[in-house]
Amino acid sequence: MAVCEVCFRHCEIKEGQLGVCGARTCRDGKVIAANYGRVTALALDPIEKKPLSRFCPGSMILSYGSYGCNLFCPFCQNHDISRSTGKEFEDVISPEDLLRIAVKYRSEGNIGVAYTYNEPLVSYEFIRDTAKLVKEEGMKNILVTNGTAEIPVLEEILPYIDAMNVDIKSMSDTTYKDFLKGDLNTTKAFIERAAKDCHIELTMLIVPGMNDTEEEMRELSSWIAGLTDKEGSIIGETIPLHISRFFPRYKMSGTPPTDVGKVYALADVAREKLKYVYTGNC
C-alpha cells in the first residue's frame, strides 16, 4: 500500500488497486499514473475552445486527453472518460510521439499541446515529461484543469506551463464537498499559486440552483480581483473569467438549461470587479 499525494484525498492505494480518481495505482509499493500516455482524445482545436480568450488568440492547439478525474460533478459532459478506469482505452502515446504530432501540425497554426478533456493532473507525470519536451521545442503548453491538486504537484509542472484555464465550480465549501466531492480551499490555493507564474483564465459553469446567485458571483469576482502576482502586485482584475451556460448532462439530464438572461446578468455582476468577462454556450 502507498499514499497518493496528488490531491487532498491522499488515497491509500493497495497494490494493484486504483485510487478514487480511477487513474492512479500502486505498483511495487509506489503510486504511479495507470493512465500514463493512455489516449482517449486527440484533436486540433481553436485555442478559444479551452477556453482561453487572451492567450495567443486565433491559434490552434493540439489537445490531448486521457481518462480519470478526482471530482464527481453530476453534470460532467465528459463522464465517459472522466469516470472510466481505462479498460476500454488501450491506445498509448509517448511524450516523444505527442511532440512529433504537435510539430507536424505547426503548418496548420498549432502552437503546442493542451492537456484537457479529463482531469489531466491525475497523470501529472505525463504532463511533466511531455511539457518539458514541448517547451524545449519552443512550443506552448496549456493546462485545462479543475485545480484539485496539491501545490507540490503544481510546482513540478508549472515551469513548463504557459497558460491554463481552471474551473472553479462554486464559492461554497458545502457545494464542493457534498455536490462535487471536492475541496474548495484546494482549488483556491491552486489558483492563487498558478496566478503568480502563469497566464491564467478561470471558468464557472452556471448550474441552476447550485451557483447561480448574484451574491455568489460577487463573492467570486471579488476574490479573483484580489489575486496577486509573485511580486505581490494585485493583478486579479485583469484575469479573464468565463461564465458558461449549463446544458443537461449525465446525472443532471433532467435539469433545464441555464436561462440565457441569467448568464448575461451574472456576467454584468462580474464586470463590476473584473475587466475581462466572457459568456459561453449562449
Q: Would you say the C-alpha torsion 211, 217, 222, 226 has a positive or negative sign?
A: positive
Inside any domain, residue 27? no
The number of C-alpha atoms within 13 Å of 14 and in the hemisphere containing its C-beta is 1
Q: CATH number for the domain including 105?
A: 3.20.20.70
Residues of the chain short of pLDDT 50, as ranges, are none
Inside any domain, residue 25? no
* Residues spanned by the domain of 257: 39-280
Inside any domain, residue 236? yes
Mind listing the pLDDT tens digit for each residue in 99-125?
A: 999 999 999 999 999 999 999 999 999
pLDDT at 85: 87
Classify residue 189 as left (phi > 0), alpha (psi -120 to 50) or beta. alpha
Interhelix angle for 124-136 vs 95-104, to 10°? Answer: 50
Inside any domain, residue 33? no
Inside any domain, residue 3? no
Inside any domain, residue 69? yes
All 3 cell numbers of residue 197?
Answer: 507564474
Q: Are strands 110-115 and 199-206 parallel, antiparallel or unpaired?
A: unpaired
Residues 61 and 110: beta-carbon distance below 8 Å? yes
Q: How far is 24 from 16, CA to CA, in rounded Å?
A: 10
Q: How far is 193 from 251, CA to CA, in rounded Å?
A: 32
Inside any domain, residue 144? yes
Q: CA torsion, points 46, 50, 53, 55, in degrees to nearest 10? A: -80
pLDDT at 257: 97
Mind listing the pLDDT tens digit for each residue in 260-274?
A: 999 999 999 999 999
- Provide the domain count of the chain: 1
Inside any domain, residue 188? yes
pLDDT at 264: 98
pLDDT at 87: 86
Residues 85 and 18: beta-carbon distance below 8 Å? yes
